[in-house]
Structure 1
């Protein structure tokens, strides 16, 4: 565990049944122009209606940018940012999932022509916050509203890369369970498991520390005890609120420590085969946890004591660890998320390329408590081929 550690997080967070209505107090009279980043699906569902109504009642000029593709590459992100710059806005609102919020966060530091998204791939610390940003997540999963990260595809490398710059941390976050109420089950499930991965990876990260553990353990408790109900019962609003809070806490844990080999090895699956980020993480979750178990079983036992409300506290560390990994596997299975790359027609002859690409994600592999060698990565990928 780290002995020196710190935390950066959004400055103002509003959560609860009426969090969206807090926007009225947040929007000051000196704001001249707002750009709302969202997607067409959310517009159609009416999930942007409340923010729009409040903005119009305040008499503030606004523009909606809704052509953000799912999991954009850096060219697509730059296209949206170029559109944003034309608007000369002084306030950003992002309503959506991780892709929407990541593009909005990039826009908040790229409002001038001084740097591009491609420049930040080489040096993410070049840019500084230029436009105030507010995040309203519509999924209980990515935690993007809490993090300084923006993930973009790099087609020439068949990889996704995380741009990390604390200047991208949101100024405001609104967590309102109503935003996730009508989320389709496959999206709720994959994003929910993404949040689950964030929590368990951060808690078992080599960079874990007392601050990150506080948020990671609470996130793990909230997510593991609510994810199935939240994803399978549209009316389970209390479970959905808890998932949204758990996802946010897991995002804070990412900022304070970092994810590990699950995310590292999943990036090539999204970059080359365009498998949804949460799904690729779900596929790798159990294999990586089993690989790591020899060096994290004590931590998994601690997690067991926190998460399993009616658990036998007298069980051995080995049995508690095994139980936790089995529960992760059960959650993925019950939520009907694929667990094999065969579902996505990934040929076994691509194995060498997957290993090479996965081993490039050193930013996250260094967080893994057990060293991952190319041969280890090969064996993990073989389990899911």
Structure 2
């Protein structure tokens, strides 16, 4: 195994490699797409697919000035009223006013719901549903991070459903379409704008629950990098880690396909180029790369699923009240370290895409461990914690309980993980992440 490099020297290495990548691309993206297909054809560890589908929103607009697609969409569909779901943090940035200007051009009636908080609850979602019904709007527009977008999805669906919110929880339980839905992310990480899921927290129990259904896909997704330029560095770091986790997990999941492989490798390469410049310098080109990477990773995991990182993130975030992206970034290297021996060639691909190698590794397993080391240090260079104990005041967490929660509420993610994961090994990964020691991973 390769031991983690000292962070100072690695930061220099990261900067040097990033500069080289900006000056000259090592591969054209069309080659990436072909390579992903070749990997699929030759990778005997992948589940054999005689048939594979791919789903995404009806319309996907991206790039600078893509927000201008909003007014034509509303005009084309003769929409007269809208509920804008957002949060209070965005008021100070001027982003809400920018979107309202677009809405005013269409002469529609606008109502605003801005009560969404981080990790939205059933109660917040129900209040949004009540606003939809009270205002009798024709479209729901979500403007914000993943929490806002998930709330908008829920409001669109539940307001039109013959069942209550709690009756719709789970997988493919929604009987009919909701109101037309437009999703506009202001972060680059969750991928919610292109996914068919929403995550809400039960106010009473404190547990998170999911709605996953094809009716949750947006009718229009608008990914305009300009809307992410006001992100504080810590938020850019944690949401970027979320996107990276999505791309890496979807690339190694047991449900991966050629289509998701292409999206994952593209997202990982863009993140390798854009993550640190977006976090530390707010560079325009980096914001573009991160925004598109987040959406590509979202499309990938929507179709290929996720893995053990998301299973383990669930109890850590819930028990310690930590943000989803931050916990994903914290746990990602430890789960990667656990999975390397099962899919070393896959992690070698990831390392190649993200720019982990100064020279070709001798073997796939060496490449895999170097990739883990690089990702670990990349996240550290972005300012994210690399040990649970540094961000919580809990000297002796009950990781057995954490494992029970993960096994009960996130079974689907554990089943998708490339290497089988039982309770004993899960506890060991938690312990390694708590101490910040990759070498403790079994």
Q: TM-score, normalised by structure 1?
A: 0.95
Q: How far off is 1:370 after superposition?
A: 0.7
Gaps of 5+ in 2: 1-45, 435-442
Q: Does 1:301 align with 2:348?
A: yes
The aligned residue for residue 233 of structure 1 is 281
> Does the 8 Å contact 2:265/2:350 carry over to 1?
yes
Report which stretch shifted further, 122-131 or 331-340.
Answer: 122-131
The aligned residue for residue 373 of structure 2 is 326
Q: Following superposition of structure 1 onto structure 2, how do residues 190-205 of structure 1 map, counting pairs within 5 Å?
A: 190-205=238-253
The aligned residue for residue 142 of structure 1 is 190
Q: Give the direction of change, closer, same or farther, for the CA distance of 1:186–1:309 in structure 2 (3 Å limit).
A: closer
> Does the 8 Å contact 1:109/1:127 carry over to 2?
no
The aligned residue for residue 433 of structure 2 is 384
Question: Distance between the aligned counterparts of 1:123 and 1:176, measured in 2?
Answer: 30
> Does the 8 Å contact 1:38/1:94 carry over to 2?
yes
The aligned residue for residue 35 of structure 1 is 83
Q: How far off is 1:351 after superposition?
A: 1.9
Q: Does 1:13 align with 2:55?
A: no
Q: TM-score, normalised by structure 2?
A: 0.83
**SS in structure 2 at match of 1:92:** strand
Equivalent residue in structure 2 for 1:166, among 214, 229, 238? 214
Equivalent residue in structure 2 for 1:180, among 222, 228, 231? 228
Q: Does 1:277 align with 2:319?
A: no
> Does the 8 Å contact 2:170/2:211 carry over to 1?
no
Question: Distance between the aligned counterparts of 1:331 and 1:202, measured in 2?
Answer: 19
Deviations 1:103-132 (A, max 9, x none): 111112111362222112256523422211
Q: Does 1:63 align with 2:111?
A: yes
Question: RMSD of aligned C-alpha atoms?
Answer: 1.7
> Which stretches of structure 1, 4 residues or longer, exceed 6 Å deviation after superposition?
none
Equivalent residue in structure 2 for 1:348, among 366, 376, 396? 396
Deviations 1:72-119 (A, max 9, x none): 122332232222222211111111000000011111211136222211
The alignment of Structure 1 onto Structure 2 pairs a total of residues equal to 384
Larger radius of gyration: 2
The aligned residue for residue 150 of structure 2 is 102
Q: Give the direction of change, closer, same or farther, for the CA distance of 1:267–1:251 in structure 2 (3 Å limit).
A: same
Q: How far off is 1:226 after superposition?
A: 1.0
Q: How far off is 1:327 after superposition?
A: 1.4
> Does the 8 Å contact 2:190/2:239 carry over to 1?
yes
Gaps of 5+ in 1: none
